[in-house]
Amino acid sequence: MNVIDIMTRSPKTIRHDATLREALELMEEVGCRHLPVLSHEKHLVGIISDRDCRLALNSPHIMRERWQDEAIINQTRVASIMSP
């Protein structure tokens, strides 16, 4: 078996400056758990996973009330939580 046999030929991608909300919505829309992250020049700069998103929301370093999740989802950029 070769990579070409199992790879996704035209994967959905997300920009590095997109918000966590945009990443979560795209993952839900497409039905995937990982998205390649592209720079403005369309170069691959990383990958973001559903786990990265969960960790951003449940970070022990963030002391907040649950109502603040909405602000985190709207303000957190993909580049700050993706894996390079």
- Given a cut of 80, whether residue 63 has pLDDT beyond it is no
Q: What is the pLDDT of residue 47?
A: 98
Say which CATH architecture domain 13-81 belongs to.
Roll (3.10)
Q: What is the pLDDT of residue 44?
A: 98
Choice among 16-25, 47-56, 59-68 with the minimum mean pLDDT: 59-68
Phi and psi of 33, rounded to 5°?
-115, 0
8 vs 60, higher pLDDT: 8
Q: Where are the domains of the chain?
A: 13-81
Task: Determine the average pLDDT of the residues in 29-44.
Answer: 97
> H/E element holding 73?
helix 69-75
C-alpha dist (Å) from residue 79 to 47, 62, 67: 9, 18, 23
